[in-house]
Amino acid sequence: MKSEREQKLIEQAYAEVEKYETLVNRDRYRLRYHLMPPVGLMNDPNGLIDWNGTYHVFYQWMPFRTGHGAKFWGHYTSPDLVHWQAAPIALAPSEWYDKDGCYSGSAISCDGKLVLFYTGNVKDEQGNRQTYQCMAVSEDGIHFTKKGVVITLPDGYTAHFRDPKVWRYQGHWYMILGAQSESGDGKAVLFRSADLCHWEHLGPIAGGNMNGLGPFGYMWECPDLFPLDGQDVLIVCPQGLKPDGMRYQNVYQSGYFVGRFDYERAEFLHGAFEELDRGFEFYAPQTMLDRNGRRILIGWMGVPDQNEDRQPTVSHRWVHALTLPRELRLTGGKLRQTPVEELKQLRKQKVAYPSATVVNELRSWPGLEGDAIELRLDNIELFGSMMEIYFRHAARLVYNSDEGVLTLERKSFVNGLTEKRQCRLPRLRSLHVFLDTSSIELFVNDGEETFTARFFPHLDDRTILFGTHGHLHMDIEKWEL
Ligand code: FRU
């Protein structure tokens, strides 16, 4: 049951969807096969869960404008991670403990119910922040009843304390939160519970000088801790890292530590921080374990405070989207991301050019163009110093084999100048590209590296061009999606 106030907010949000439906859907930059908000701003994926045979993805949503504010939880469901359906709004910021936003959180299954944990964001008249960790419960996975506050702010932290991710391990529930300590360090903080209502504060497990990390950002958002391939992985989004060579080029980062989590001592021994994605827009990912035992990640195709108001879709009253679902594996101490198998269902009209060759030129082949396509380049062999691919004259991927550097360039939507993101890559073997009308997701060497970005090409330009200084051989496959 929803309170009258929550019901009213939900009606206002639906009215907004209806009011702008035509404008939003007229936007030719609307994506074809990614999750987007029906109107307004979408940010973090929340509450990812495979529950009773249905995949659920909730998301941070501001229906009333294309900026941030008092967030709702929007909701999509899918039988297969490919075909999604909008479900009724799950949460609206209606109560004293969440009136300025039902902020990010997660979902679990308990006693046949789908239970959500989220952060209630509250600001007083002076703009001072308060934070509450809250619970909401559903019998059917569609209608949610708020149960109120389960955790208040412990000593030693500022009110930047949020984004609960909950899981079960050997008879207990655990919750990890993103936090800022009073001394101004980003941390990941752990709680434990036997009944989901009473939570014991076990303390920080990573961040702010722990584990020899040194100062590492002033706030950590959206933590996620899970076992994978025999080790434990902690994903976090540190805010406040300075650009460092090719690393940390976005306003805020999203990355992970690999290590070993000791439940007895609530201790996480871990290695170095690695960025999850090398592109322009990727943040606040969340993972879930699915029916097949796969660890699946979905991220936000956006970054907070990174010229969000300048994205071209804003004129059509919507902004941002989520990434494709990706399966995670751990190989050689590194996370590998690959698009989930199910996405093959989207494939139509295959075009293939086995043993395609490019020699000191810029060229294409009939049928490779498109604006919503999947492209696979396998067995890449480059005899020469560089290869490049132009996507609709608005994004360009360049591999410099002398330096071992892969670069994604795009035309900035702020000033039209070329901007770039890069990573080191000793060898380029394969590229797997998902283009949508205004996004690109690149999986390099079967997910060793990924680049995720929005880009806004001229709407009638569908060209894909391949170039090299030298000789380039590869097997090309392409599908319309
Ligand atoms: C990350 C974040 C979270 C917060 C949410 C608010 O993008 O700032 O820390 O819960 O977005 O929408």
Which tens digit of pLDDT belongs to each residue from 218-239? Answer: 999 999 999 999 999 999 999 9
pLDDT recorded at residue 212: 86
Pairing of strands 145-152, 129-138: antiparallel
Atom of ligand 1 nearest to the CA of 105: 10
Domains of the chain in sequence order: 4-339 (2.115.10.20), 347-480 (2.60.120.560)
Task: Note the helical H segments in 47-186.
Answer: none
Above 90 in pLDDT, residue 304? yes
Residue 260: strand pairing partners:
269
Atom of ligand 1 nearest to the CA of 103: 10
In this prediction the pTM is 0.98
Average pLDDT of the chain to the nearest whole number: 97
Above 90 in pLDDT, residue 71? yes
Counting ligand 1 atoms within 8 A of each CB, the residue from 73, 104, 123, 235 with the most, and so the one to mutate, is 104
Q: Whose CA is nearest to atom 9 of ligand 1?
A: 221
pLDDT tens sequence across 10-29: 999 999 999 999 999 999 99
CA angle 327, 62, 288 (to 5 degrees): 20
pLDDT tens sequence across 136-171: 999 999 999 999 999 999 999 999 999 999 999 999
pLDDT tens sequence across 186-197: 999 999 999 999
ipTM: 0.99
pLDDT tens sequence across 94-103: 999 999 999 9
DSSP 154: P
86 close to 76: Cβ distance less than 8 angstroms: yes
Distance CA 229, CA 137 (A): 32
Q: How many angstroms does the Cα of residue 302 sit away from the middle of ligand 1?
A: 12
Q: Which whole-number Å values give the CA distances from 239 to 19, 24, 189, 283, in the listed order?
A: 36, 32, 16, 11
Quick count: other Cβ atoms within 10 Å of Cβ 366? 7
Pocket lining: 409 vs ligand 1, CB cutoff 6 Å:
no
Name residue, tokens 């996975």. Answer: 141
Q: Return the amino acid letter for 400.
A: N
Pocket lining: 34 vs ligand 1, CB cutoff 6 Å:
no
Atom of ligand 1 nearest to the CA of 119: 10
Atom of ligand 1 nearest to the CA of 283: 7
114 close to 141: Cβ distance less than 8 angstroms: yes
Distance CA 415, CA 411 (A): 8
- C-alpha of 239 from chain center: 16
94, 95, 101, 103 alpha-carbon torsion, rounded to 10°: -120
Counting ligand 1 atoms within 8 A of each CB, the residue from 43, 98, 100, 180 with the most, and so the one to mutate, is 43
CA angle 154, 160, 162 (to 5 degrees): 80
pLDDT tens sequence across 162-218: 999 999 999 999 999 999 999 999 999 999 999 999 999 999 999 988 988 989 999
The residue annotated as part of the active site, out of 44, 98, 163, 185, is 44
CA angle 108, 217, 283 (to 5 degrees): 45
- Structure tokens that stand for 313 in this block: 């879709």
pLDDT tens sequence across 306-351: 999 999 999 999 999 999 999 999 999 999 999 999 999 999 999 9
Above 90 in pLDDT, residue 365? yes
Name residue, tokens 């039988």. Answer: 79
Pocket lining: 43 vs ligand 1, CB cutoff 6 Å:
yes
Distance CA 318, CA 82 (A): 22
Residue 186: strand pairing partners:
180
pLDDT band, very low/low/confident/very high, at 125 (cuts 50, 70, 90): confident
Counting ligand 1 atoms within 8 A of each CB, the residue from 121, 221, 237 with the most, and so the one to mutate, is 221
pLDDT recorded at residue 209: 82
Above 90 in pLDDT, residue 386? yes
pLDDT tens sequence across 449-480: 999 999 999 989 999 999 999 999 999 999 99
- Structure tokens that stand for 195 in this block: 């009944």
Catalytic annotation present for 44:
yes
pLDDT tens sequence across 421-454: 999 999 999 999 999 999 999 999 999 999 999 9
pLDDT band, very low/low/confident/very high, at 64 (cuts 50, 70, 90): very high
